[in-house]
Amino acid sequence: MLDVRRVRTDFDSVLAALERRHDPSLPGQLERVRDLDARLRELVGERDELRSRVKELSKQVGTLHRDGRTTEAEALQDESRRLGEREHQLDAEADAVGQELRGLLLRIPNVPADEAPDGRSDADNVVVRMEGFDPHGYAEHQRVPHWDVGTQLGILDLERAVKISGAMFTMFRRQGATLARALCQLALDRNADAFEEVRPPSLVSSSTLTATGQLPKFADDAYHVERDDLWCIPTAEVPLTSIAKDEILAEEDLPMRLMAYTPCFRREAGSAGRDTRGLLRVHEFDKVEILAYTTPEQAPAMLEELLARAEGTIAALGLAYRVLDICTGDLGQSHHRSFDLEVYAPGVDRWLEVSSVSWFSDYQARRANIRYRPTGEKRTEMVHTLNGSALAVPRVWAALVETYRQPDGSVVLPDVLAPYLRGGTVIEAR
């Protein structure tokens, strides 16, 4: 969340930054934050002053009783009781104002980085670079959608997945399942030189989901196990971000790099009207996430590193891809700066987002209370968090089987996957 002290002391610059998101509701919300903060400080100040006065009266009452001045003591007790009742009223009002203030701060998005391009929607995202794409370089046998390729080869069984679980669930079979697992192992291996592998829980508490910004705003997109008040993770970013929740890290331990391979669960509540065929939009999928805690000074270089790592894996698979610099109007709630990687899938003739690499500044860390102590100092500061999809399976899987489909209908996968495919890179129909 935003630092309320920054809103208090630098309101105009925070407002100007949020206005770049082109959300007309944000100025009013920020003004409400400023008013609530002022009211809260006023209430707390008056409450604390009364609390101090009540404590002083209690001491005086005790002294008067010891001196046998009972009448004076009882008079002060009456005054103390009246002040105590007012103190409780102020405390309750301060609590209510504080809760409203926190609830509002949880919903206001992060301020965009100065370097983020201005824009109102995804149509204004900037293509930074494009690699390996030739619109005329694909043959007819590559123009077959992956759901048809998968069915023909017996490696994608959407019909039975729907029978088992319902729409927008998928099931890989035979070499299709092996390929899905191979992609995750490839991503883990390519980042193992610098990132600690973690296998976090797939169910998390509400506070953990709140720390990354999914709650309260995006509750409808998450799967909630109400009986236990646990949530199925939409991404490993959620548990990885909270590993250091309520902790103070040492500056010399930063940056801290983590990676995880997990299932991810998303309701896709906002997918009405979108193309949900095949693997384009699913409720459950596997993904390798890379994440880092940094100091503010380390963050820009880490953003470049995460992007380079995600991009490098896609390039190693030989897929055509492009990198998008996300504009201010399309940034996610928690995002300070973000880049998307999209691969070209010739069978569906579409660019498919396969990775988002993002810098959250101290927005998530403030929610999760993750701090670090600068070397040689007593004070603490908020860490910065960054993360990226090292590889998400479904759309990469789709682009691979479409791109590498052969004239005879088989699929010949790139050699980089050979060590993970039990020696066979050719998928043929049985």
Find the mean pLDDT for residues 205-226: 93
Question: What's the pLDDT score for residue 315?
Answer: 98
Per-residue pLDDT of 86-95, as tens digits, reads 999 999 999 9
Provide the 10 A C-beta neighbour count for residue 137. 10
Question: What's the pLDDT score for residue 62?
Answer: 83
Per-residue pLDDT of 292-309, as tens digits, reads 999 999 999 999 999 999
Per-residue pLDDT of 341-353, as tens digits, reads 999 999 999 999 9
Find the mean pLDDT for residues 145-173: 97
- How far apart are the C-alpha atoms of 165 and 189, rounded to whole Å? 32
Per-residue pLDDT of 114-125, as tens digits, reads 999 999 999 999
Is the predicted pLDDT of residue 423 greater than 90, yes or no? no
Question: What's the pLDDT score for residue 330?
Answer: 98
Find the mean pLDDT for residues 173-193: 98
pLDDT category, 2, cuts 50, 70, 90? Answer: very high
Is the predicted pLDDT of residue 175 greater than 70, yes or no? yes
Per-residue pLDDT of 226-285, as tens digits, reads 999 999 999 999 999 999 999 999 999 999 999 999 999 999 876 666 788 999 999 999
Question: What's the pLDDT score for residue 317?
Answer: 98
Of 215, 220, 212, 214, residue with least CA distance to 243: 212
Is 3 in contact with 36 (CB distance < 8 Å)?
A: no
What separation in angstroms does the CA of 272 have from each of 269, 337, 351? Answer: 7, 27, 19
What is the rounded average pLDDT for all residues in the chain? 95
- The residue type of 392 is A
Question: What's the pLDDT score for residue 430?
Answer: 76
Spell out the residues 6+ positions from residue 172 whose beta carbon is closer than 8 angstroms to its own.
155, 156, 157, 179, 180, 397
Listed as own residue / partner, the contacts of 99-105 with beta carbons closer than 8 Å and 24 or more positions apart are: 100/36, 101/4, 101/33, 101/36, 101/37, 101/40, 102/1, 103/216, 104/29, 104/32, 104/33, 104/36, 105/1, 105/2, 105/4, 105/33
Find the mean pLDDT for residues 411-423: 95
Q: Any idea which of 66-80, 277-291, 370-384 has the lowest mean pLDDT?
A: 66-80
Question: What's the pLDDT score for residue 337?
Answer: 98
Is 333 in contact with 109 (CB distance < 8 Å)?
A: yes
Find the mean pLDDT for residues 374-400: 97
pLDDT category, 149, cuts 50, 70, 90? Answer: very high
Is the predicted pLDDT of residue 323 greater than 90, yes or no? yes
Find the mean pLDDT for residues 382-405: 98
The percent of residues above 90 in pLDDT, for the chain, comes to 89
Sequence length of the chain is 430
- How far apart are the C-alpha atoms of 4 and 101, rounded to whole Å? 9
Question: What's the pLDDT score for residue 25?
Answer: 97
Find the mean pLDDT for residues 62-68: 84
Cα end-to-end distance, the chain, whole Å: 54
